[in-house]
Amino acid sequence: MKRLAVALLATTALATPAFADELMDEAVDYFKPLPSTVPAVADNPITEEKIELGKMLFFDPRLSASGVFSCYSCHNLTTGGDDNLETSIGHGWQAGPRNSPTVLNAVFNVAQFWDGRADDLKAQAKGPIQAGVEMANTPANVEATLNSMPAYVSMFEAAFGAPDSVSFDNMARAIEAFEATLLTPAPFDAYLNGDAGALNDDEKAGLQLFIDKGCIACHAGINIGGEGYFPFGLIEKPGADVLPEGDRGRFAVTDTVDDEYVFRAAPLRNVAVTAPYFHSGKVWDLKVAVQIMAESQLGEELSDPEADQIVAFLGSLTGTVPEITTPVLPAETATTPRPTAEVLPQ
């Protein structure tokens, strides 16, 4: 299989450090730049055929019972890979329980969802499709839908190398393959790759504060977060407006008291374009979100200029979205299950 290059990375990355400085040395200890190739994922070799099929599935509203929602609806590639809503609106105009996280660079998170309940993107992809408040579909109905369109059947066979390859699991694998290509190299990657001029003075000051104040304790690595689980409100619990009492986070996954109000640390790539913030989606202003984090997690009262500088640094994590052409999907046939807007009792 040939290597799949992330085309845009090449234009911002330098091969060798140019103007290295002390801060850069520190930064490369904590963070990792995006790779120049599509990353490998567990149990799912990524091929061009899977990516192409996965892109079609990602855009296909017929994966929802109503025919209204696709993966793209809440992970909108035009608006930072999320939907810019407090929580997503889904089937029957129901609001989802948590803010939709960006799909961009999500392949590098340790696990998926705010509580990490899905091990990887292929496990994640099956969730919203079946959730009653999101796409409200069933695996059997999805399989019937895909099997009803010969062009999809051929693409599944090409992607998975066998007849009868249409399955809910393979659908999820193809979507994972497409999503693994959604990497957004940013100025901060150029900096980590050795270009000291990629960040301006404010951004560098913000990076220094981000390290010195201790933000890096949770937000490090390739996604500047997304690598581990931490209690929200470690030092001081934020108000119920930001941290609603009813959502106890990872406790619902592990049933362990230690995991009450524990969430996966948010990955911070593209954070400047993916408001509103937190699992509750209650905060629209990035500076306010930074201040809440400093107080609740670190017991730090940031000065106004400090908060501004950290926000400036976070802006350097906004990357270049890969060029995506909208796919042309196969037309329904006589056997395609018809969409239904009906809301069934859960």
Which of 18, 140, 235, 341 touches a second copy by CB under 8 A?
Answer: 341
Q: Is 332 in the site for a second copy (CB under 8 A)?
A: yes
Q: Which of residues 72-91 bind a second copy (CB under 8 A)?
A: 73, 76-80, 83-86, 89
Whether 231 contacts 262, CB under 8 Å:
yes
Sole residue written with tokens 């500076």: 287
Nearest-angstrom CA–CA distance, 70 and 344: 19
Report CA-CA distances (Å) from 58 to 81, 110, 132, 177. 12, 22, 19, 11
Contact flag: residue 11 with a second copy (CB under 8 A):
no
Annotate 30-83 with DSSP letters as a single string: HB-PPPSBPPP-TT----HHHHHHHHHHHH-GGGSSSSS--HHHHSBTTTTTB-
- Which member of 92, 139, 228, 231 binds a second copy (CB under 8 A)? 92
Considering the rule CB under 8 A, would residue 144 count as an interface residue with a second copy? Answer: no
- The answer to whether 259 touches 249, Cβ cutoff 8 Å, is yes
Scanning residues 301 to 330, which ones bind a second copy (CB under 8 A)?
321, 323-329
Number of residues near a second copy (by CB under 8 A): 42
Q: How far is the CB of 247 from a second copy (least distance, A)?
A: 19
Which helix (H) or strand (E) element contains residue 71? Answer: helix 71-74
Which residue among 18, 40, 95, 344 contacts a second copy (CB under 8 A)? Answer: 95
8 A C-beta contact, residue 211 and residue 200: no
The footprint of a second copy on residues 233-262 (CB under 8 A) is none
Residues labelled as active-site residues: 134
Residues at the interface with a second copy (CB under 8 A): 56, 59-62, 66-68, 73, 76-80, 83-86, 89, 92-93, 95, 272-273, 275, 284-285, 321, 323-329, 331-332, 334, 338-339, 341, 343
